[in-house]
Structure 1
Amino acid sequence: MASAFESSLSSSLSGRQTLSATAPSMADSLPSINFGFDELRDRMARFSARFDAFIEQGRKRVLEERNQFRMNVAELQEDQRMKKKDMEILQHKTNTHQQMISKEAAETREMQAAIASLTEQRDRNKSMRDSLQQQIAETQKEIEARLAAQRAHAQYIESQSRFNVPELDFWMQNLCLKIEGAGQTDRLRFVYTHVDEKDWDREAWFELSTSSRDYDVRHCRPKLEREKVDRVLERVNETRDLAVLLKGMRELFVEAMKS
């Protein structure tokens, strides 16, 4: 604005000087007037400088306040995040503590149940121990009685074997028979040959148990019908004649080989 005013003033002055140079004017006789343009220009320049400084200070203050606001917001967000994390940690600890309490309560109940079960089992074991002791005593008496019977039976067999040795040799030769041990003290294995017409060397055998007074056939090869074996044993136990057993079993093996 000051520049436009000054340019217009200069133009009027230069025009006035041109007119005064060409022709005399009445303005030359007028007194000179000082409007104070220089002072006005200085004042306006100082105002512009102060205004610019004010604007700059305001802009800086706004920037500082905005930065401070952002920092405050960031701090608040960080505080909120830390508090949230602390709350999560506290909740986790609370849950863990509750779980530990529940676990300890469950373990306490289990221990109490186990103690009650062990107490009950101890009482049952005590009662069973007393019963077993009584059964052991009775079983011991029964074992002693059976041992005595077995010893008596063994003595009887031994006394009879002295008289039956020639007869036993006779049946072993005529029945193609041999006697072996069966791996146990109360068992004998009787092995036959010449029972298969197609293969005279093929063997057939049975195991005789002498653990009791009555004879009993436990195993045989080839396998025979149990009913037929029981019928032979029934005749043997009635007659107490071992020859009946040897002949009867050979006849069963021959029959089995043919079939």
Structure 2
Amino acid sequence: MTSVFEPSASTSRHHPLGAVGGPSLADTLPSINFGFDDLRDRMAKFTAKFDAFIEQGRKRVLEERNQFRMNVAELQEDQRMKKKDIEILQLKTNTYQQTMAKEAAETREMQTAIASLSSQRDKQAATRDALKEQIATTQKDIDARLAAQRAHAAQMEAQARFNVPELDFWVTNLCMRIEGAGVEDRLKFVYTHVDEKNWEREAWFELSTGSRDYDVRHCRPKLEREKVEKVLERVNETRELAVLLKGMRELFVEAMKS
């Protein structure tokens, strides 16, 4: 709707009094339509559009801010999870390093133990070889001694068959008897009538026959070892048992007199 410019009453007041009855200057001017209604309508529409734009912008800003906050929250959560993962990985790394250090220490200990065991094995192998050699040498010595003992036993057995009558003779004439000494390879020879004051008093000695040479182990009464050794030397040289029996009786008689 267009509006027509109309002069106000104040305008007419300023005209000269003589012009009151005729047409005014304003009446002679053409009417001008400024289009205020259209302008108002356009301004209203612009305002509505501007308000809508502002509202959309505000909503978009709010949405973007909310989205930004969500993104920041997600990033913070991701950062927290990453930090937690890093801590877990660091803990696993520390545990792995400790395990590796422990295994390295155990490996060194095992290597030291293996080296020690290897050294002990070598020493034991050397000792075993030495013992084998010693056993072989000892076995040879034993075999040689056994062979010598068997030969000596055979000789003694052969000689005993010839000495039985002679032994009976000396048992009778020397007032002697032969007993077991309770030990293998030993004989006990017991004499009587060696003490002039007491013919029942006995004297005895034990003879060892376990080796090639004869040896007197024990005797009662005790005799000087040097004298016994002299008798044994004569016996081992002559290999005659009668020399031993006569010599030991003489030593006992001498000991009884002293």
TM-score, length-scaled by structure 1: 0.52
Q: Which residue of 2 aligns with 1:215?
A: 214
Q: How big is the shift at 1:127?
A: 2.1
CA 1:165 to 1:123, structure 2 compared with 1: closer, same or farther past 3 Å?
same
Q: How big is the shift at 1:240?
A: 1.3
Q: Which residue of 2 aligns with 1:160?
A: 159
Q: Which residue of 1 aligns with 2:228?
A: 229
* Cα deviation 1:82-122 (Å, max 9, x = unaligned): xxxxxxxxxxxxxxxxxxxxxxxxxxxxx99xx69877655
* Cα deviation 1:42-80 (Å, max 9, x = unaligned): xxxxxxxxxxxxxxxxxxxxxxxxxxxxxxxxxxxxxxx
State the number of aligned residues. Answer: 149
Find the aligned partners of 2:216 and 2:236 in 1 and give their Cα distance.
12
Q: Which residue of 1 aligns with 2:59?
A: none
Per mean C-alpha deviation after superposition, the further-off stretch among 125-134 and 153-162 is: 125-134
Q: Which residue of 2 aligns with 1:242?
A: 241
TM superposition outliers: structure 1 runs of 4+ over 4 Å: 115-123
Equivalent residue of 1:201, what SS?
Answer: coil
Q: How big is the shift at 1:215?
A: 1.2
Equivalent residue of 1:196, what SS?
Answer: coil
Q: How big is the shift at 1:184?
A: 2.6
5+ residue gaps, structure 1, are: 1-110
Q: CA RMSD in A?
A: 2.4
Equivalent residue of 1:243, what SS?
Answer: helix
Find the aligned partners of 2:117 and 2:207 in 1 and give their Cα distance.
49
Q: Which residue of 2 aligns with 1:202?
A: 201
Find the aligned partners of 1:212 and 1:191 in 2 and give their Cα distance.
22
Q: How big is the shift at 1:201?
A: 1.7
The aligned amino acid for 1:231 is K
Find the aligned partners of 1:164 and 1:232 in 2 and give their Cα distance.
19
Equivalent residue of 1:185, what SS?
Answer: coil
The aligned amino acid for 2:167 is L
CA 1:194 to 1:127, structure 2 compared with 1: closer, same or farther past 3 Å?
same
The aligned amino acid for 1:190 is F
Find the aligned partners of 1:252 and 1:128 in 2 and give their Cα distance.
51
Find the aligned partners of 1:167 and 1:192 in 2 and give their Cα distance.
17
In our comparison, the structure showing a higher alpha carbon Rg is: 2
Q: How big is the shift at 1:224?
A: 0.8
Alignment of 1:1-259 (within 5 A): 123-259=122-258
CA 1:203 to 1:118, structure 2 compared with 1: closer, same or farther past 3 Å?
farther
Find the aligned partners of 2:117 and 2:257 in 1 and give their Cα distance.
64
CA 1:123 to 1:221, structure 2 compared with 1: closer, same or farther past 3 Å?
farther
Find the aligned partners of 1:157 and 1:207 in 2 and give their Cα distance.
18
TM-score, length-scaled by structure 2: 0.53
Identity %: 77
CA 1:122 to 1:201, structure 2 compared with 1: closer, same or farther past 3 Å?
farther
Which structure shows the higher helix fraction? 1
CA 1:203 to 1:119, structure 2 compared with 1: closer, same or farther past 3 Å?
farther
The aligned amino acid for 1:246 is L
